[in-house]
Amino acid sequence: MSEWLYQLENLTKEYGGRRVLQVDNLQVRRGEVLAVVGPSGAGKSTLLRLLNFLEPPSDGCIRFLDLQVTADRPAPLAYRRRVTMVFQRPVLLDRSVGANIRYGLQIRGCRNEDHELVAVLDLVRLRDVVHQPARTLSGGEAQRVALARAIVLRPDVLLLDEPTANLDPYNVGLIESILRNLNREFGTTLVLVTHNVFQARRLADRVALLLEGRIVEVADVEAFFQAPQDPRTAAFVRGEMVY
């Protein structure tokens, strides 16, 4: 098994001729927590959509395991299903909490998923509301359902797009501890997009700064915060405007 799970080479993404992402080289290690920080509009969410194979790159290549994804070679379903994402604003199905969490298993044709469901419900502390309609949940509970419906699939990679923005400290703490456990116990690789440098510092093994669609610096978490190589990273870490 290789050390790298993802290798991005000369990757670009354009929308209507406007280049929003240009990553010359980026790797995601197997089992690590990689935080991608940067101001809004830097291309962080676009990067996640590409890593989730929801959109093809405009140019360049994403290597994932033994797969090569390019503009005209999309990822097959089996690979796509090894990666899943938790979005900043979860959109749940108008069904019960339990049915929402089972959704991903159902579309994979899994049956007898009750055992996994119970385990995941305990993990996100939603056992009491399993039969409740998802639309009646609070913001924090809804995000935990979104996390649960992703975790229950046991993905190789979990992508997180600002998963705790706008949540209260209790939910932030709970979600962060779930993520930490997931990474330690199951070795799930996490790619976390956040504009919160404190969260990146709490969770990440490595941090990447994305600015105007380009990777400015990637470093281990200590080096990134203590001894940034790029002046723009230093400014971002200090909380100054870098653009």
Minimum CB distance to another protein, residue 87 (Å) = 6
| Interacting positions 115-144 with another protein (CB under 8 A) | 131
Interaction between residue 241 and another protein (CB under 8 A): no
CB of 143 to another protein, least distance (A): 12
Whose tokens are 């994979």? That residue is 108
Q: Does residue 93 touch another protein according to CB under 8 A?
A: yes
Site string for another protein, 164-193 (x = CB under 8 A): ------------------------------
Give the number of residues written for the chain.
243
Strand, coil or helix: what is 5? strand
107 is a contact residue toward another protein (CB under 8 A):
yes
Residues 98, 130 contacting (CB under 8 angstroms) = yes
Q: Under the criterion CB under 8 A, does residue 98 sit at the interface with another protein?
A: yes
Minimum CB separation from another protein for residue 216, in Å?
A: 27
Closest CA to 97 of 124, 59, 73, 76: 124
Strands (E) located in the chain: 4-15, 18-29, 33-37, 59-64, 67-69, 83-86, 157-161, 189-194, 206-211, 214-220
User: Binding marks (x or -) toward another protein, 37..66, rule CB under 8 A?
Assistant: ------------x--x-x------------
Give, for 94, the enclosing helix (H) or strand (E): none
Residues 6+ apart with CB under 8 A from 2: 30
- Contact set with another protein (CB under 8 A): 49, 52, 54, 77, 80-81, 84-85, 87, 89-91, 93-96, 98-99, 103-104, 107-108, 131, 146, 149-150, 153, 159
